[in-house]
Chains A and B, each alone.
Chain A
Amino acid sequence: MSVHRHSSPLAVTGKYLALALYVGFALFPLYWLAKIAVTPDKLIYTEGTALVPSSFTLENFRTVLVATDFLYYFRNSLVVSLTTAAITTCIAAAAGYAFSRFTFRGKRLVVAIMLITQMFPLLMIIAPIYKIVAAVGLLNSLTSLIIVYTAFNIPFATFLMQSFFDGIPKDLEEAGMMDGCTRFQALRKIVLPLTLPGLGATLGFIFTAAWSELLFALMLINSNDTMTFPVGLLTFVSKFSVDWGQMMAAGVLALVPSCLFFIFIQRYLVQGLTSGAVKG
């Protein structure tokens, strides 16, 4: 008997059609972003709905890179996002390990509090956060953003890391301890190498979240020097017009680090690193 299942050609076509529709739907805004970025200014309104512009230009990219503060915003965002991702992941990894491996008094309480912080709409706490940040004199600084983003991302990142630690058999650490490791050595030499996919995923997630955050950045940053990228995008909206072409070109450039980051961590995201550890 053949194990190959023959589906009807109609079903196969339907399946791929559905997939194509979904992918098209999901990627269309990105296409539109890129399309407007390469459309010459004078054609933006005259050919507003044409799928492919009649002529191309890279002028918008040149203007954005040379004539605007885009590179500043870009650098600010990079600093904020990378620092946030690094700090959050370190703290979340430590907390996630504790939640996964130890029982301690107040554990349930801490988990409950962390969950509660995720329940409120951010809008509700914008004003108090602003007051606090202003009081400690951190307005218009990247530090304020790093602190706020870190604080808000830690709960989710912790649960994410905990689930990765839960997936690593306890036997492995115990075998390590029987082999002569201290708990910390077992963590460093055995658990940590196996958690790399988890660390990669958490880093990527937090980086993206911080990279695209607008609300707090808008509230806490006013000066051009410390604007992050999403806030900077708004500077393309002037009193009398919106510079669509340049705005979209900047948007395309902003996608680059996210893409690079995910390409970089992708190899750590590949599952199956723990296979072979225990019976399987």
Chain B
Amino acid sequence: MARIELQNIAKNYGPVEVMRDINLEIEDGEFIVLVGPSGCGKSTLLRMIAGLEPITDGEFRVDGRRMNEVQPRDRDMAMVFQSYALYPHMDVARNMGFSLEIRKAPSQERAGKVHDAAKTLGLTSLTARLPKALSGGQRQRVAMGRAIVRDPSAFLFDEPLSNLDAALRVEMRLEIARLHQRLETTMIYVTHDQVEALTLADRIVVLNAGKIQQVGTPLDLYERPANRFVAQFIGSPTMNILEVAPADKGVLLKDGTLIGISPGTGHASASDLGVRPEHLNIVPEAAAHFSGTAELVEHLGSDTNIHARVPDIGQVLVRQHGHFPLKTGDPVHIAMELDKVHLFAPDGQRLEPVVGSG
């Protein structure tokens, strides 16, 4: 059990600053997902928590105790690596029991814990095998088993599913969620896959360029993204961003259409309007905010994605539920659900939109 605090954490490699002002409090038992594009520093942050990477500045505490200088082996955290990092010369059982072996636990206790973990993960028949005789999914399970056996105060996952194929990834994702429900241990999970983030997390930390962009529940991030980066990073397909100019009673799209929504008085003026594909609708011409032609129509069965080209505005993606009878080249008339529209200032920060006011 662990409550983890990061205070003003910074990381430099020589003169290069890769991370700064990282402040985060993780409650005991919480499932936190660090998400961001490659190179954003999410893995570095996890490695600093693990103790594999020195912390340049700031304080890292577990249950109120400063841990900056504590060796990885004394932090009582288990880590699952992206590469699995199984010991190739040890069989599955010894791999899983290695942490207990190092701590000189009695062999009976070791065997019992390994057996329990193997049973949970469906590895019982494989315990005598070497890692090279396992499939990718099995290796992944062994790596998780190795972490579980230790009964650590926190689990760290570094993109654990990115080497698996799509079907297996979904299955293992479920397994990790189940594991968290059962153990109720603090988990910190790094991924670049927003679906993993949205499905697993109690709270998501979005990172970009070494800084925290937003911390919140999956719904928070989806409904009220703190800035344009988060807005475009969370949600699939990506949010449409349309350039706008401020006007008296709302904002003006580039084709001159007035949209009756504004940041409210006293705030910075909006330069971008964001609207998710699922909050756009194909409507009769009279009700439309703008019109264009369908350039590409993707029929996914459950949904239809319509890539439309709108004169003066550009490419817009519309997502309609179910099968939508439309084909390439058809004219489309598009309306926004105004209560679901986001506004952003020129610096990318979110502006709280007010519908219908000036």
Q: A residues engaging B (CB < 8 A)?
A: 169, 171-172, 174-182, 185, 189-190, 193-194, 272-279
Contact = CB atoms under 8 A, between A and B. Distances in A.
A193 B88 CA distance: 10
Given A177-B52, A178-B78, A275 B102 contact: no
* Most chain A beta-carbon neighbours within 10 Å: one of B77, B86, B133: B86
B233 to A, nearest CB: 26
A41 to B, nearest CB: 55
Given A180-B102, A279-B83, A274 B88 contact: yes
B85 A277 contact: yes
A175 B84 CA distance: 9
Interface in B23-37: none
Given A171-B81, A177-B52, A180-B103, A276 B133 contact: yes
Interface residues of B, number: 31
Given A276-B131, A276-B134, 4 more contacts: A178-B52, A193-B89, A194-B89, A278-B84
A185 B52 contact: no
Contact of A194 (B88, B133, B139): B88
A279 B85 CA distance: 8
Nearest to A279: B163
B327 interface: no
A99 B39 CA distance: 26
Contact of B77 (A178, A193, A277, A278): A178
A178 B77 CA distance: 7
Nearest to B162: A279
Contacts of A177: 51-52, 71-73
A65 to B, nearest CB: 43
A178 B86 contact: no
Nearest to A277: B88
A229 B108 CA distance: 56
A274 to B, nearest CB: 5
B73 A175 contact: no
A272 B133 CA distance: 12
A193 B130 CA distance: 14
B87 A277 contact: yes
Contacts of A181: 73, 102
Nearest to A174: B52
A179 B83 contact: no
Given A276-B131, A278-B83, A179 B146 contact: yes
The 4 closest A-B pairs by CB, nearest first: A276-B132, A276-B131, A278-B83, A171-B85
Contact of B88 (A179, A180, A185, A276): A276
Contacts of A176: 87, 98
